[in-house]
Chain A
Amino acid sequence: MSASGIRPGPRGRAVVTGLGVIAPTGIGAARHWESVLAGKSGLGRITRFDPTRYPARIAGEVPGFRAAEQIPGRLIPQTDRFTHFALAAAEAALADATADPARLPEYEMAVVTASSSGGTEFGQHEMENLYQQGSSWVGAYQSIAWFYAATTGQVSIRHGMRGPCGVIACEQAGGLDALGQSRRLLDTGSRLVLSGGTDASLCPYGLVAQLSSGQLSTEDDPARAYLPFDAAASGFVPGEGGAMLVVESAASARDRGVRPYGELLGYAAGFDPATGPRPDGTRHAVLASVIRRALADASLAPGDVDVVFADAAGVPAEDLAEARAITEVFGPGGVPVTAPKTLTGRMYAGGAALDVATALLALTAGVVPHTAGLARPADGCAIDLVLHHPRRTGPRTALVLARGHGGFTSALLVGAGDRRDPEK
């Protein structure tokens, strides 16, 4: 046993048996996947508040989400929108996996989510109460609704999952890190982990916090606001939503007679505190190292990877660094690269989780989805970017990349399973 509590030696196989999606591309994995294949964008001018006086006005909002129809009524005033999303996605994922937590050992089930903003909108309202009316107007639920672990706690309580629960706050890389942690838990006595991430910070307080990164696009045309790897890249657009996944030991899935979407084959993470281009041109080194370590973890060679789901920052220097890292490992144009997140915007803790769900749907369908909306690749990005339409190439292995503000850098490899019916 190492200091991390993880036994050395070969691991058990970790498979994904259920997907729950709440995204600007639609509610439900099937609707999301239809939008991805059709290149149907969920970006538009912000409607959740009047964005006129803010420099960034385009976002990916979840269409038609009504909490009262999706989650228990008592939890609506007690939790933030990011938790509403996760509760709905968790229920959908469990249903998709035909997993009934009441029939499984409660201490062998866990919840591990990623959160980047916490309950921002809830917190904003309570701060308004504080400053406009006084401290006695701050609601008691502020104490549990705002913080990063709120979602994990509420999902754990709702489904009676009492194993080693946790939350990971690694900005936009967190969705992959949560899945990496879920896989570890399967080796230490857990059999089923609800994992993934959601975020919902499309409120003035949340947007202003994001503006401080200087990476949000100020473009007013939704079709031009988020163009990663493109010559016209001008930053990124924020999105809300995310995905929850049922991660399960292969033995547990087999016992339950459930066919998985796919398998978590390898994972690695690193940290790169530097920002912007470096004079020595090594901006891509950490990401390249993380990719290599994920491949080693999966005992795979670069040639085994059929598609890369890029982090796709939309910021030219970051795009270039990612393209160089991919090129260094796979060779120029050595692997198809795609970024369906141009349809959703960058969804913070929810983004990488959704990318993994999209990758699993792509492997299930045998299709590499395209990156919609790009016109002209940026100079220096020597990658085989999948543009214009999906490629029906029967991919079996996908690499998902994610980078979070401040230096979080993660990679996850997923392999195809034998599931044939995305969530009905």
Chain B
Amino acid sequence: MAEFTLDDIRRILRASAGVDEQTDLDGADFADTPFADLGYDSLALLELANRIEREYGIDIPDGDLAHTQTPHEALAYVRARLAEVHA
């Protein structure tokens, strides 16, 4: 299993929730910018969780990912889940 990275979060957000012209997913601050400030609401995070579940074959309990505030936190959460599954 390939490592889950910030690029994967960017890729999935682009495909699922889209990106506005004024939002910079490639900026240096991306990882620590709150999802809300990037323009992503709870529905966007739900869709992000759905897609990660499908693609990586893990189970993300409802709401878990929505409690993360930034891409960095989401990354840490998903990596932890992947490590549990593959342990």
Measured CB to CB, the residues of A under 8 A from B are: 72-78, 136-137, 139-141, 143-144
Let me know if B50 and A75 touch, CB within 8 A: no
* A140→B18 contact, CB < 8 A: no
Q: Does B8 contact A (CB under 8 A)?
A: no
**Contact in complex: A74, B16 (CB < 8 Å):** no
Q: Tell me if B18 and A74 are in contact (CB < 8 A).
A: yes
Query: Which residues of A lie under 8 Å from residue B21 when comparing CB positions?
Result: 72-73
Flag B5-23 by CB within 8 Å of A: 1 or 0 each. Answer: 0000000000111111101
Do B43 and A143 have beta carbons less than 8 Å apart? yes
- Establish whether residues A140 and B20, one from each chain, have CB atoms under 8 Å apart when the complex forms: no
The verdict on A78 contacting B20 (CB below 8 Å), with A139-B47, A140-B46, A144-B43 known, is no
CA distance A69 to B17 in the complex (A): 17
Which residues of chain B come closer than 8 Å to A137, judged between CB atoms? 54
A223 to B76, CA, bound (A): 61
Identify the B interface with A (CB < 8 A): 15-21, 23, 39, 43-44, 46-47, 50, 53-54
Would A74 and B50 count as touching, CB distance under 8 A? no
For the complex, give the distance between the alpha carbons of A74 and B19 in Å. Answer: 4
> Which A residue's beta carbon lies closest to that of B46?
A140
> Which listed residue (A136, A139, A143) contacts B16, Cβ 8 A?
A139
B43 near A74: Cβ-Cβ < 8 Å: no
Q: List 8 A-B contacts (CB under 8 A).
A: A74-B18, A74-B20, A74-B39, A76-B18, A77-B16, A78-B17, A139-B16, A139-B47
Query: Which chain A residues lie closer than 8 Å to B43 at the CB level?
Result: 78, 140-141, 143-144
Query: Does B16 lie within 8 Å of A75, measured CB to CB?
Result: no
Q: How far is the CA of A140 from the CA of B47 in the complex (A)?
A: 5
Q: How far is the CA of A143 from the CA of B46 in the complex (A)?
A: 11
Additional pairs, 14, CB under 8 Å, beyond known A72-B21, A73-B20, A139-B16:
A73-B18, A74-B17, A74-B23, A74-B39, A77-B15, A77-B17, A77-B18, A78-B17, A136-B54, A139-B47, A140-B43, A140-B44, A141-B43, A144-B43
Candidate in A74, A76, A78 with the most chain B CB atoms within 10 angstroms = A74
Q: Are B20 and A136 touching (Cβ within 8 A)?
A: no
Closest 6 pairs between A and B when the two form their complex, measured CB to CB: A140-B47, A74-B18, A140-B46, A77-B18, A74-B20, A73-B18
**Considering the chains assembled together, what is the distance between the CA atoms of A144 and B46 in angstroms?**
13
Assuming the A-B contacts A140-B46, A140-B47, are A72 and B54 also in contact, with contact meaning beta carbons closer than 8 angstroms in the complex?
no
Measured in the bound complex, the distance between the Cα atoms of B16 and A203 in whole Å is 21
CB contacts (< 8 Å) of A75 on chain B: these are 18
How far is the CB of A63 from the nearest CB of chain B, in Å? 24
Asked, given contacts A77-B15, A77-B18, whether A139 binds B50 with beta carbons under 8 Å apart, the answer is: yes
B47's contact among A73, A76, A141, by CB below 8 Å, is which?
A141
Whether A136 contacts B47 by the Cβ 8 Å rule is: no
* Cα–Cα distance between A75 and B39 once the two chains are bound (Å): 11
Q: Which residues of A contact B46 (CB under 8 A)?
A: 140
Chain B nearest CB, measured from A145 CB (Å) = 10
Q: Are A136 and B50 closer than 8 Å at their CB atoms?
A: yes
Min CB gap A167→B, angstroms = 19
Q: Could you tell me the distance in whole angstroms from the C-beta of A139 to the nearest C-beta in chain B?
A: 6
Task: Give chain A residues whose Cβ lies under 8 Å from the Cβ of B47.
Answer: 139-141
Closest to B39 in A: A74
Q: Which residue of B lies closest to A76 (CB)?
A: B18
Determine whether the beta carbon of B19 is less than 8 Å from that of A140: no
Q: Report the separation of the CA atoms of residues A139 and B44 in the bound assembly, to the nearest whole angstrom.
A: 10
